Structure 1
Amino acid sequence: MPTRRTLLSGLAAAVPLAAAAQSPFAFSGPVTIVVPFPPGGSSDLMARLVAERIAPALGRGVIVENRAGAGGRIAARAVQAAPADGSRLLLANTSVMVLTPLAFADAGYDPAGGFAPVAGAAEFAAGMATGPMTGARDLAGLTAWLRANRERANVGVPAFGSIPHLTAIAYGRAIDLPLTVALYRGGAPIAQDLVAGQIPLGIGAAADFAGLHQGGQLRLVAVTGTRRAPGLPDVPTFAEAGLSGFEANAWNGFFAPSGTPAPAIAALNAAIVAALRESEVVRRLEQAALIAAPSDPETLAGWMTRDRATFAPLVEAAGPMQ
């Protein structure tokens, strides 16, 4: 069951009859954006910023539904099985749409055949964070603590087969210290346990840790990618911190069930792209270490194709996933 529902701007009743007659949608009622992770994380922020702004453009209410669990598989299966009319969208990231299906033979959904790309949304780095348990201020300090406390070398990640999980594997190999991976339901719960001193290390979307890092409750010691993340100018990339091979970033985008009519896809894309181009939205996303990247469906499909080719060898090298 969803953990939280938020109804934003129910405007359908205010739409003139002439506009309603020309609607590209064959359903009445709201559009639902399904987020595969709990409230409080970067995907949740993205969904709510967009939902609030597309409701007037679509002439109907927009609901954000958090359906967390199984690294996004529960949400993806639900949206793939939903009516193909534009009434339900999935806000999914690289892990959900590329890595999980590569890592799990029984993911239960088909990113290529089960979904229609609607709009690219943002690009973001994965971040490595620590908290009071280690007291580390940088990657070298964290590495030293883990080597001195091998029995407590645990790392929280939001999904098996995700970029954070692959990053954890690669980091453990780079420092010659296998890490025990703990699966969480999203980045926000990882951050909570880091602050509480329950785990020494967490890897997730840098955006999920940005606010607590800026407030001093935890410490981001490195981010993936070839440049520092927006909103986090004091956090080095892995390469700057002394480790190469962590250049890959992630993205998220909006998807509808396969078979959704082209006019509905076009209307949704136009509304989402316009929302993501608003200066206030760009500013809010940058504060959370997200780079707005509004795009058409074809570009989003291209991201998926490119990353399947890029990450397939890495997932295979990582070995069987739990």
Structure 2
Amino acid sequence: MHSFRRHFIAHTLRCALAIGATLGVGLAAAQTQSTRIMVGFPAGGGTDAIARILAERLQADLGAPVVVDNKPGAGGQLAAQALKAAAPDGHTLFLSHDHSITILPMVTKNPGYDSAKDFVPVAGFATFVNAIALSAGTPATSLKGYADWVRQQGGGKGTVGIPAPGSVPQFLVQEIAKKNQLDLVAAPYRGSAPMMGDMLGNQIPAGVASIPDFIENHRAGKLRVVAVMGTQRQAAMPEVPTFAELGLTGFEEVPYYGVFAPAGTPKATLDKLGAAIQRAIAVPEVKDRLTAMGLTVGYMSSEQLAARERSYAKVWAKIIKDSGFQPQ
């Protein structure tokens, strides 16, 4: 009897230790579970570079792996759909600018998601501006010079690259064409990286995209940014005039960058991630790197980012409607 009890107690202890070890491994795995930041554009573009800067700092802050997952296609639509389908546990996020969150649902009949219902803002961390740039093979050095060159070379007809169809750059191309009485075709790419490749190879004479997409090659003299959106010139390139200065108004509302999570993500999780983002962009090295890319760095809480998106949507709903664009 005593022998049986000893064996039973020993067996029970072994089981308890095994269960404890298993639970310990499970807890450790949970604590080190990686966080995935999806980006809706290919590697090598401005949004991808921004995501990698932020992910590097968040990984150090959170003490767990933070990886960038590029899901290019349809101007970020595929990444947005993947976010909708993800578990609302804070381990799948979407770093996006205005296009996927605000513009795509306005210009697409069936985007496959509703930003207001399917996503929740985590935090905003920057604003930026779009711009028009000219390839090195284009002799013009100003927007007026470009318009004159298009008239001389193509009888007023020209092609301008854009990172995605139905995007802010597309409507900007339309307004540039109207203002200068040109017939410009907006040629859509699958993100800014392939567009930049064609611009640097002089396969396309001009492109409209964000300052982060253009700034490195502008500084290197491989292309020339000749006009920017916004109410004031950009600190990263103060020599470049705004469209408003050149007589093209209506593009003063500037886009934003933010991080989003699936709807249903617990508030405590959102608060934790938002605080980590706030700390990340406060690190001088991170802020300097983002600023050097042409961003205006500034923290927006979940509520502030939601309000910013609503005001931005109101402005662009009118621009899109007035352009006569029909959802595709």
TM superposition score normalised by structure 1? 0.89
For structure 1, the 5+ residue unaligned runs are: 1-16
Question: Any conservation in 1 of the 2:96–2:257 contact (CA below 8 Å)?
Answer: yes
Alignment of 1:250-265 (within 5 A): 250-265=255-270
Listed as ranges, the matches of 1:194-213 within 5 Å are 194-213=199-218
Measure the CA separation in 2 of the matches of 1:166 and 1:27: 45
Match for residue 320 of structure 1?
326
The equivalent residue for 1:121 is 125
Alignment of structure 1 residues 1-322 onto 2, 5 Å? 29-150=33-154, 153-318=158-323, 319-322=325-328
Deviation at residue 179 of structure 1 after TM alignment:
1.3
Whether the 8 Å contact between 1:223 and 1:238 is mirrored in structure 2 is yes
- The alpha-carbon distance between structure 1 residues 288 and 80, as it changes in their structure 2 partners (threshold 3 A), is same
Shift of 1:56: 2.8
| Distance apart, 1:241 and its partner CA | 3.2
What is the CA distance between 1:129 and its match in structure 2? 0.4
Tell me the matched-pair count.
Answer: 303
SS at 1:166's partner residue?
Answer: helix
The runs of 5 or more residues in structure 2 that have no matched partner are: 1-22
Matches of 1:161 and 1:273 in 2, distance apart? 32
Instruction: Say which SS state the counterpart of residue 183 (structure 2) adopts.
Output: coil
Q: State the TM-score, normalizing by the size of structure 2.
A: 0.87
Going by fraction, where is helix more abundant, 1 or 2? 2
C-alpha change, 1:245 and 1:147, in structure 2 (3 Å) is farther
Cα distance 1:27–1:115, how it changes in 2: closer, same or farther (>3 A)? farther
Distance 1:224 1:105, change over 3 A: same
RMSD, aligned α-carbons: 2.1
Q: Report percent identity of matched pairs.
A: 39
Using the TM superposition, name which of 261-270 and 231-240 deviates more.
231-240
Aligned counterparts of 1:293 and 1:161: Cα–Cα separation in 2: 27
Give, in whole Å, the separation in 2 of the partners of 1:303 and 1:26: 34
Counterpart residue type for residue 96 of structure 1: S
Q: Which secondary structure does the structure 2 equivalent of 1:289 belong to?
A: coil
1:133–1:198 contact (8 Å) kept in structure 2: no
Q: Distance in 2 between matches of 1:114 and 1:167?
A: 29
Partner Cα distance (2:44, 2:126) in 1: 17
Given that 1:156 and 1:190 are in contact with CA atoms closer than 8 Å, whether structure 2 keeps it comes out as: yes
Rounded Cα–Cα distance in structure 1 between residues aligned with 2:264 and 2:30: 13
Q: Which has the larger radius of gyration?
A: 2
Given that residues 163 and 250 in structure 1 are in contact (C-alpha distance below 8 angstroms), is that contact kept between their aligned partners in structure 2? no
Q: For 2:31 and 2:184, how far apart are their aligned partners in 1?
A: 49
Residues 243-252 or 58-67, more deviating: 243-252
Structure 2 CA distance for aligned equivalents of residues 117 and 70 of structure 1: 21
The letter of the residue matching 1:68 is: P
